[in-house]
Amino acid sequence: MWSEIYDRVAEQIRAHRTTLIFVGTRRMSERAAFALNERLGEGFVMPHHGSLARDLRFDVERRLRAGELRAVVATASLELGIDIGTVDLVVQLGSPRSIAVGLQRIGRSGHWISAIPKGIFYATTRDDLLECGALVRAIRSGELDALTIPPAPLDILAQQIVAACAQHEWGADELFATVRKAYPYRQLSRPDFDSVLSMLADGIATSRGRSGTFLHFDRVNGRLRARRGARLAALTCGGAIPDTANFNVVLEPDDHVIGTLDEDFAIESMAGDIFLLGTNSWRVRRVEAGIVRVEDAHGAPPSVPFWNGEGYGRTLELSREVCAVRIAIDERSDQAACEWLARECALDRSGAEQAVAYVRAGKSILGVVPTQQAIVAERFFDEGVGMQLVLHTPFGARVNRAWGLALRKKFCRSFNLELQAAATDNGIVLSLTDQHAFPLEIVFEIVKSASVEDTLKQALLPAPMFAARWRWNATRALAILRFSGGRKVPPQLVRMRADDLVAAVFPDQAACAENLTGPIRIPDHVLVRETIDNCLREAMDVDGFIAVLRGIEAREIRTAAIDTPEPSVFSHEILNSNPYAYLDDAPLEERRARAVTLRRTTREDADGTGRLDPAAIADVSAESWPVVRDADELHDALTTLTVLPPVEAWQSWFDELLAQRRATVLQAPSKAPAWTCAERLAIARLAYPGATIVPS
């Protein structure tokens, strides 16, 4: 598939003066630029992303303006800022997950009089195909994503208070009134403001002393003055963009920084390894603390590095458009649906036919097309006889992340087992074992809107999102400094200091789970409150999730539960979700969802796939029927199954058990006689109330 996409993109590059190609990740930027250079010739295409050194990015932009490059493969790094008048085509590989982002990227082309911006979307999966079509339809109809301003972020407030007091002395009341004039802080409460002042004045007690003390607070007269070091901290450590744990890539012998690598990739690299960065191959000479020293590999075959990060979730507005496209396909005949997709979503004939076939195949198994008005729980077994539960909930990743964490916590408390789970834009997968038997319908009832926020607070505390956002908030609030002694603090030291800080402020979060009884007690601390709120309303959408639960409880959202012999096509992308979708710490190679065998093509006889074959039921029943060759094996079967119907071929062995008083017959008035063993008699009598026992 990718080879065909690259071939088509190369044709588009040849047919235009300058092409701007947008991708979702830095790894994809490097891969695509490398593949396109193989087709067009070395030096025709360059990558552009945040892990390239600043001077290299500027050089790419200069060459693009001068017409020296035919194309650039960029991440969000070229969405804004520069104006390149010769760009006459924008190519988007995969959905940008946002209407506004898609519109902004297409708008990078056609910057001259009478020109019309032009863009092409290349879908990479069938779900991506529907999403790209929905995005085009939304743009044509004038839809945009709602812009949400974070309300009163307390970590940024702490940073700004330090900066203000470093300039001159303030009265607390005067500073509070000034802060409230800023739009994000228009509803800031005085208790929240005072708690930030207390944190900056008193600091946080750690084993190495008090951390984050930047103010002298005269509480008698209500005056604020900066301590020594406050001005330097505000100047060198300010900012809202969180730091990532990247290693600088330094070219030897020039000692020139050419970019950055993800910490995990850098640590796993060894001397002699060759990787790709900026279309050049680099050979690792050695890995030091925070630095990877390299030399030119002169075009040797490289590996493509990876950069870890959180995946963008699809916006609520685009999720609604995706559901509208699904409904439109479902309501029309095949021909009418293809014509509608071509007219409304700008899909070509092949894409429209694939989209229609995809929706039809999914409905044939589930009986309904999942939308925001009709959601489906699908359960099936994998090759390891494990059980997979997929919720088809196309509300976007932020709502589904909250739902998945809440379900994982509820199942953990019910079965006393940590489950593997993942959440994507279109659904949730929970990996269970064959021991977890329950009526499938309860999955929609186990989480309640009235208590879900408390459940999520407990669920997110051990999750990776809490640790990451705690570190970000602590650095933004200047409780942990990014620079010290004129040098950048290494990422591993920042992480360790963040762990020490959370242990001082929130000891139960860092405590041994075996010593905790009941829910974790959450302290009333500025950074803890802000971090939990960030998890609930940035990484997740708890308010949107509560609205969905209320819709289910009011029966405004229809629910369906179905056991299927094989996974529906709607579940394929959910099962093969990327690591950033995981809600637990299990690595890719240990995911139970990867044990599911998926069909590579849509079945032509998909109608009826979801129905159970009577012949298959008979075969499985025959396989599960016990093999009995003597009286002891019959006793084993009765011990395992509790009761069995009389079998003529086994009568002599049963008579032998009767004589030994190891078995008996239950005769109920309205039921056929049943055999049971002495060890299971008490349980069997519950299933046969009023039965006569022979012999008594």
The stretch 282-298 carries a mean pLDDT of 87
Q: Is 191 helix (H, G, I), strand (E, B) or coil?
A: helix
Q: Evaluate if residue 384 carries a pLDDT over 90.
A: no
Kindly indicate the confidence band of residue 178, based on its pLDDT and cuts at 50, 70 and 90. Answer: very high
Residues ≥6 apart with Cβ < 8 Å to 211: 203, 204, 479, 480, 501
Choose the weakest-confidence range: 149-158, 231-240, 408-417: 408-417
Q: Tell me which DSSP letter residue 441 carries.
A: G
Return the amino acid letter for 684.
A
Choose the weakest-confidence range: 265-274, 595-604, 641-650, 655-664: 595-604
Choose the weakest-confidence range: 57-61, 185-189, 353-357, 692-696: 692-696
Q: Which two tokens stand for residue 57?
A: 């990015």
The stretch 5-32 carries a mean pLDDT of 92
Q: Is 36 helix (H, G, I), strand (E, B) or coil?
A: helix
Task: Report the CATH number of the 2-122 domain.
Answer: 3.40.50.300
Task: Quick: pLDDT tens for 93-117.
Answer: 999 999 999 999 999 888 887 888 8
Kindly indicate the confidence band of residue 126, based on its pLDDT and cuts at 50, 70 and 90. Answer: very high
Q: Is 120 helix (H, G, I), strand (E, B) or coil?
A: strand
Task: Quick: pLDDT tens for 661-687.
Answer: 899 999 888 788 899 999 999 898 888
Percent with pLDDT over 70 in the chain: 93
Return the pLDDT at 613. Answer: 67
Task: Quick: pLDDT tens for 54-66.
Answer: 889 889 988 888 8
Return the pLDDT at 606. Answer: 47
If one counts every other C-beta atom within 10 angstroms of the C-beta of residue 235, the result is: 11
Choose the weakest-confidence range: 483-497, 527-541, 624-638: 483-497
Q: Evaluate if residue 601 carries a pLDDT over 60.
A: no
Element (H, E) at 140: helix 126-140
Q: Evaluate if residue 253 carries a pLDDT over 50.
A: yes
Reported residue count of the chain is 696
Backbone phi, psi, residue 644, to 5°: -140, 150
Return the pLDDT at 599. Answer: 57
The rounded mean pLDDT for the chain is 88
Element (H, E) at 488: strand 487-488
Residue bearing the bigger pLDDT, 583 or 321: 321
Task: Quick: pLDDT tens for 422-433.
Answer: 999 999 999 887
The stretch 597-624 carries a mean pLDDT of 62
Return the pLDDT at 531. Answer: 96
Q: Evaluate if residue 607 carries a pLDDT over 90.
A: no
| Residue owning tokens 């001259």 | 112
Residue bearing the bigger pLDDT, 534 or 692: 534
What is the Rg, in whole angstroms, of the alpha carbon atoms belonging to the chain?
Answer: 31
Do β-strands 71-74 and 18-22 pair in parallel, antiparallel, or remain unpaired? parallel
Residues ≥6 apart with Cβ < 8 Å to 619: none
Return the pLDDT at 429. Answer: 93
Q: Evaluate if residue 603 carries a pLDDT over 60.
A: no
| Share of the chain residues as helix, strand and coil, in percent rounded to the nearest 5 | 45, 20, 35
How many angstroms from the chain centroid is the CA of residue 264? Answer: 19
Element (H, E) at 285: strand 280-288
Return the pLDDT at 248. Answer: 85
Kindly indicate the confidence band of residue 451, based on its pLDDT and cuts at 50, 70 and 90. Answer: very high
Q: Where are the domains of the chain?
A: 2-122, 155-225, 246-296, 370-461+522-618, 626-694
Residues 113, 90: Cα–Cα separation, whole Å: 18
The number of CA neighbours under 13 Å toward the Cβ of 486 is 0
The stretch 633-657 carries a mean pLDDT of 91
Residues 491, 480: Cα–Cα separation, whole Å: 11
**Taking Cα atoms as reference points, which of 389, 485, 488, 510 lies closest to residue 446?**
389
Residue bearing the bigger pLDDT, 3 or 245: 3
Q: Evaluate if residue 602 carries a pLDDT over 60.
A: no
Return the pLDDT at 592. Answer: 63
Percent with pLDDT over 90 in the chain: 54
Q: Tell me which DSSP letter residue 538 carries.
A: I
Residues 615, 624: Cα–Cα separation, whole Å: 14
Q: Evaluate if residue 435 carries a pLDDT over 90.
A: no
| Residue owning tokens 């996409």 | 5
Residue 272 CB burial class (10 angstroms; 0-12, 13-18, ≥19): exposed
Return the pLDDT at 208. Answer: 67
